[in-house]
């Protein structure tokens, strides 16, 4: 099927078009620069930016794919989770286009879309698979046995998301927002073993109760303490070493627990999605550790890991192919949509 996907849950206005597993267009407008000076996404600013960007981004996606709205078989849109006002812009636009062009509409889960996008890179996802979902607002391990109908959470962060930890640590180091890309770059020049930062929820007693859960707030605090001590002593901050050591702590825990989940469930496929999946060390370490157990790692190219419309189209395409019924035209946006609901 030819499916168009609309994403407006945060600060990216994304419209993607796919045919089956083939990516035809991935148009994006971002308001990230407007938020940078606030050190985080400002909801009102994001909503207004979506409103301004949605129609031109739609036109660009259709032009890039060389199709018209009449050719589209279905429209998928992120219904949640995300910023309420931002989601409403995408959902309202999707309804307008669906009504005008008489197309079915699918209100989908942004997090499931972060997993589904890998099909554009590597084809159909073998099920069951384990998914490591690591983004700005979420960090979870999921059992994916039927992506069209639901996923089973195995564990999640009990405090900060992995991406949030990158963003907060970048701020401590004087690096720009969002913090993932500059930390990834700085870490390449640093020593990942320079500073022994804590690995949250990996002590034997924590593993008993939180085997597949994550915790990154203690790590963030440890980095803050370390940085403060240096500053109090009037010493220069070894930014590259701190970045590399912090990044290693995050990637060590994420990959160890993801592979433990695969082995515990006897599953040979690990798919990694969400903005943090763009991290070069996470990708390398996951590959390296998975190989030892014959586990296949699937991670899409970095541009497909961060928010985009193609991921929404990919999930929509999967739903259409699986025969899932479309949503009602009055579908709601749900800023707190749970991970267990794939489409509304
Ligand atoms: P969610 O998907 O939970 O709603 P979101 O949509 O805001 O959150 P994404 O766009 O999926 O988040 O991911 C953004 C996050 O990914 C940010 O926290 C950013 O710092 C992080 N990120 C992006 N690139 C990298 C990278 N190379 N290394 C580490 N983190 C990265
Ligand atoms: Mg973003
Ligand atoms: Fe996201």
What's the confidence (pLDDT) of residue 40? 87
Surrounding residues of ion ligand 2, Cβ less than 5 A: 10-12, 307
Q: Which residues line ligand 1 (CB under 6 A)?
A: 9-10, 82, 110, 114, 135-138, 163, 166-167, 178-181, 184, 274-276, 278-279, 306-307
Ligand 2 center to residue 314 CA distance, Å?
A: 19
Grade residue 200 by pLDDT with cuts at 50, 70 and 90.
very high
Reported confidence tier of residue 305, pLDDT bands at 50, 70, 90: very high
Mean pLDDT of 337-344: 96
pLDDT digits (tens, 9 = 90+) for 224-272: 999 999 999 999 999 999 999 999 999 999 999 999 999 999 999 999 9
Q: How confident is the model at residue 94 (pLDDT cuts 50, 70, 90)?
A: very high
Residue nearest to atom 30 of ligand 1 (CA): 180
Confidence (pLDDT) at 37: 84
The β-bridge partners of 62 are: none
Mean pLDDT value across residues 79-84: 98
Mean pLDDT of the chain: 97
The share of the chain scoring above pLDDT 90, in percent, equals 99
The whole-number average pLDDT for the span 142-146 is 97
pLDDT greater than 90 at residue 39: no
- For residue 222, the CA-to-ligand 2 centroid distance in Å is 26
Q: For the whole prediction, is pTM greater than 0.95?
A: yes
In angstroms, rounded to a whole number, what is the distance separating the alpha carbons of residues 314 and 166? 27
Radius of gyration of the chain (CA): 20
Q: Which residue reads 């600013």 in tokens?
A: 45
Q: How many Cβ atoms sit within 10 Å of the Cβ of residue 224?
A: 14
Specify burial of residue 291 (Cβ count, 10 A radius: 0-12, 13-18, 19+): exposed
Is 114 labelled as part of a ligand binding site? yes
Q: What is the mean pLDDT of residues 63-68?
A: 98
Q: How many CA atoms lie within 13 A of 41 on its CB side?
A: 24
What mean pLDDT comes out for the span 129-142?
98
Ligand 1, residues 35, 40, 41, 135: which to mutate, most atoms within 8 A of Cβ?
Answer: 135
- Across the range 89-93, mean pLDDT stands at 98
- 327 in helix, strand or coil? coil
Q: How many angstroms is it from 10 CA to the middle of ligand 3?
A: 7
């Amino acid at each position: 099927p030819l499916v168009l996907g609309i994403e407006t849950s945060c600060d990216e206005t994304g419209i993607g078009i796919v045919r089956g597993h083939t990516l035809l267009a991935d148009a994006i407008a971002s308001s990230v620069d407007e938020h940078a000076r606030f050190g985080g996404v400002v909801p009102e600013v994001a909503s207004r930016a979506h409103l301004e960007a949605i129609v031109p981004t739609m036109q660009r996606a259709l032009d890039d794919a060389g199709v018209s709205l009449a050719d589209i078989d279905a429209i998928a849109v992120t219904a949640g989770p995300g910023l309420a006002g931002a989601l409403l812009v995408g959902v309202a636009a999707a309804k307008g286009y669906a009504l005008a062009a008489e197309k079915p509409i699918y209100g989908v889960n942004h997090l499931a879309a972060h997993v589904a996008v890998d099909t554009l890179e590597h084809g159909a996802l073998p099920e069951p698979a384990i998914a490591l979902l690591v983004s700005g607002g979420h960090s979870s391990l999921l059992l994916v046995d039927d992506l069209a109908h639901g996923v089973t959470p195995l564990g999640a962060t009990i405090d900060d998301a992995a991406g949030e930890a990158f963003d907060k640590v970048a701020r401590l180091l004087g690096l720009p927002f969002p913090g993932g890309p500059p930390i990834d770059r700085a870490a390449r020049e640093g020593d990942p073993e320079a500073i022994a930062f804590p690995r949250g929820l990996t002590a034997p007693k924590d593993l008993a109760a939180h085997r597949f859960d994550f915790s990154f707030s203690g790590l963030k605090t440890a980095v803050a303490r370390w940085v403060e001590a240096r500053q109090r002593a009037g010493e220069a901050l070894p930014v590259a070493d701190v970045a590399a050591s912090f990044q290693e702590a995050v990637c060590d825990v994420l990959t160890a627990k993801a592979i433990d989940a695969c082995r515990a469930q006897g599953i040979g496929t690990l798919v990694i999605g969400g903005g943090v999946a763009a991290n070069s060390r996470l990708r390398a370490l996951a590959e390296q550790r998975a190989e030892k157990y014959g586990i296949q790692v699937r991670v899409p190219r970095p541009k497909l890991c961060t928010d985009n419309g193609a991921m929404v189209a990919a999930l929509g395409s999967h739903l259409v192919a699986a025969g899932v019924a479309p949503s009602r035209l009055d579908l709601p946006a749900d800023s707190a949509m749970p991970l267990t609901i794939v489409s509304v």
